[in-house]
């Protein structure tokens, strides 16, 4: 396990990410992404696993353990590399001590519901996987009995309504969004992210493997640096986002999360 040092807001010795990151309001939504120093978000296989190394995996596991639910986009799920939440024994015990299930449900956001229902994410999860979709897709596609469907929006997904339902009705108050780019961008556009966590991996990959961290934003979004950590030359930045009256209305734009 890599030692994580706090650099900001004040220099500190080794910190436990599980405790260091456990300072958001209960109903916060956190976005966690990783990229290399030259801006790539995928390796030679267009995946993030090898970018941040052991240090990033340590923080990644801690953020998952703190969450009530883990949101991922349908395209990421279709890679076949997203499985059920599998915390370490220590992190699972910490969750139970907090009154949470030992594992958090994965929440798949899919506009089309074109998913492989035989995948382990839907068949092996201890806590049933949640799938967020539109009413139109729910009526037209047969889903697995092993998942829980959340319908939000008629023809396209209404992310604001989905987050309200997840938090208020399902009790999944602290949400962790892990992308991919389409979901992350949509969550930012809908002003649903309270904290943006970015791991900066100490690598240069080059343009041949360059993928976008986010899609096209309609307007600039300014961030406030809240904390900075370091482990094994990987930098972990935490940015807070402030949306005036953001959750008092439904955003007008539709999202494409096929």
State the Cα–Cα distance between residues 30 and 178, nearest whole angstrom. 9
What is the CATH code of the structural domain delimited by 4-26+51-206+213-245? 3.40.430.10
State the Cα–Cα distance between residues 86 and 208, nearest whole angstrom. 32
Tokens read off for 179:
């992308």
Closest by alpha carbon to 243, among 161, 187, 198, 179?
187
User: What's residue 110's pLDDT?
Assistant: 96
Give strand ranges (E) for the chain: 4-8, 14-15, 29-36, 69-73, 106-109, 130-133, 148-151, 175-177, 195-201, 224-231, 234-240
Tokens read off for 113:
């519901």
Residue 150 three-state SS: strand
Within 8 A by CB and 6+ apart from 111, the residues are: 74, 133, 134, 137, 156, 157, 255, 256, 257, 258
User: What's residue 255's pLDDT?
Assistant: 42
State the Cα–Cα distance between residues 63 and 60, nearest whole angstrom. 5
Report whether 13 contacts 234 (CB < 8 A): no
Residue 100 three-state SS: coil
Tens of pLDDT along the chain (258 residues) come to 568 999 999 998 899 999 999 999 999 999 999 998 888 886 655 555 656 688 899 999 999 999 999 999 999 899 888 999 999 999 999 999 999 999 999 999 999 999 999 999 999 999 999 999 999 999 988 888 889 999 999 999 999 999 999 999 999 999 999 989 999 999 999 999 999 999 999 988 876 656 678 989 999 999 999 999 999 999 999 999 988 755 543 333 334 455
User: What's residue 15's pLDDT?
Assistant: 96
Residue 132 three-state SS: strand
User: What's residue 81's pLDDT?
Assistant: 83
Closest by alpha carbon to 151, among 113, 189, 105?
113
Peptide bond into 8 cis (omega under 30): no
**Over the range 172-208, which residues count as b (16 or more CB within 10 Å of their CB) and which as e?**
bbbbbbbbbbbbbbbbbbbbbbbbbbbbbbebebeee
- Provide the edge-to-edge strand list for the sheet that holds 14-15: 14-15, 4-8, 224-231, 234-240, 195-201, 29-36, 175-177, 69-73, 106-109, 130-133, 148-151
| pTM listed for this prediction | 0.91
Dihedral of alpha carbons 68, 25, 19, 238, sign:
positive
User: What's residue 250's pLDDT?
Assistant: 37
User: What's residue 113's pLDDT?
Assistant: 93
User: What's residue 43's pLDDT?
Assistant: 62
Give strand ranges (E) for 3-55: 4-8, 14-15, 29-36
């Amino acid at each position: 396990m890599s030692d994580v040092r706090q650099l900001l807001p004040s220099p500190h010795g080794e910190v436990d990410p599980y405790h260091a990151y456990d300072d958001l309001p209960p109903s916060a939504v956190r976005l966690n992404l990783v990229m290399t120093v030259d801006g790539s978000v995928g390796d030679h296989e267009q995946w993030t696993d090898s970018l941040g190394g052991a240090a990033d995996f340590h923080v990644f596991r801690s953020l998952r353990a703190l969450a009530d639910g883990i949101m991922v986009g349908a395209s990421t799920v279709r890679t076949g590399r997203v499985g059920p939440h599998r915390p370490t024994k220590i992190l699972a015990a910490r969750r139970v001590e907090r009154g949470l299930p030992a594992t958090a449900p994965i929440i798949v956001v899919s506009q089309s519901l074109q998913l492989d229902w035989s995948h382990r994410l839907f068949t092996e999860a201890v806590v049933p996987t949640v799938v967020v979709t539109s009413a139109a897709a729910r009526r037209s596609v047969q889903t697995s009995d092993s998942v829980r469907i959340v319908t939000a929006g008629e023809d396209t997904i209404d992310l604001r309504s989905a987050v309200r339902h997840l938090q208020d009705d399902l009790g999944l108050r602290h949400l962790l969004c892990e992308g991919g780019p389409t979901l992350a961008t949509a969550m930012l556009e809908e002003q649903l992210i309270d904290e943006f966590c970015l791991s900066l991996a100490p690598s240069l990959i080059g343009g041949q493997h360059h993928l976008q961290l986010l899609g096209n934003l309609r307007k600039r979004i300014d961030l406030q640096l809240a904390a900075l950590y370091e482990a094994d030359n990987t930098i972990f930045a935490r940015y807070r986002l402030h949306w005036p009256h953001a959750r008092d209305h439904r955003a007008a734009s539709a999202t494409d999360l096929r």
